[in-house]
Amino acid sequence: MNPGEIQAMIQTLHESLLEQKSLILNKSYEFRQEQCNRAPVSDESEAASGNLEDSISIHLHERDRRTLYQIERALGKIADGTYGQCEACAYPIGPRRLQVHPFSTLCVSCMEEQESHPRQ
């Protein structure tokens, strides 16, 4: 890819990241509103069902929070001009990898190296 194509790809990914961020923030707002507006339950089966729903909602909310962190990190890298640069070796991360995994911070070689030597 030439530099113009890379810039266009980064701009497209930037817009996609902003859209994902907006969706997550809207879901987070709706989750908080739902928690505030919850009516008291009258029996144990309703309470158990409500607890299960809460557990699932909290799990999904936590996953969204982690994704939001990755989005913010990627947006920061775009802003400072380091997006697409491997954090381990400083070589460029392949454009195809970034398109598939826009939060990638490692090139394929460094990711494989990291996976072959898990932290102890």
- Cβ–Cβ under 8 Å, residues 67 and 60: no
* Residue-wise pLDDT tens digits, 39-79: 666 666 665 566 656 666 777 778 888 999 999 999 999 99
Q: Tell which residue, 80, 74, 94, 90, has the closest CA to residue 16.
A: 74
Residue 34 has pLDDT above 80, yes or no: no
- Cβ–Cβ under 8 Å, residues 67 and 27: no
Beta-bridge partners for 92: 85
Taking the chain, what is the end-to-end CA distance rounded to the nearest angstrom?
Answer: 38
Angle between helices 3-36 and 44-80 (to 10 degrees): 150
Spatial separation of the C-alpha atoms in residues 17 and 102, rounded to whole Å: 8
Report the pLDDT value the prediction gives residue 1, as an integer from 0 to 100: 79
pTM metric for this prediction: 0.74
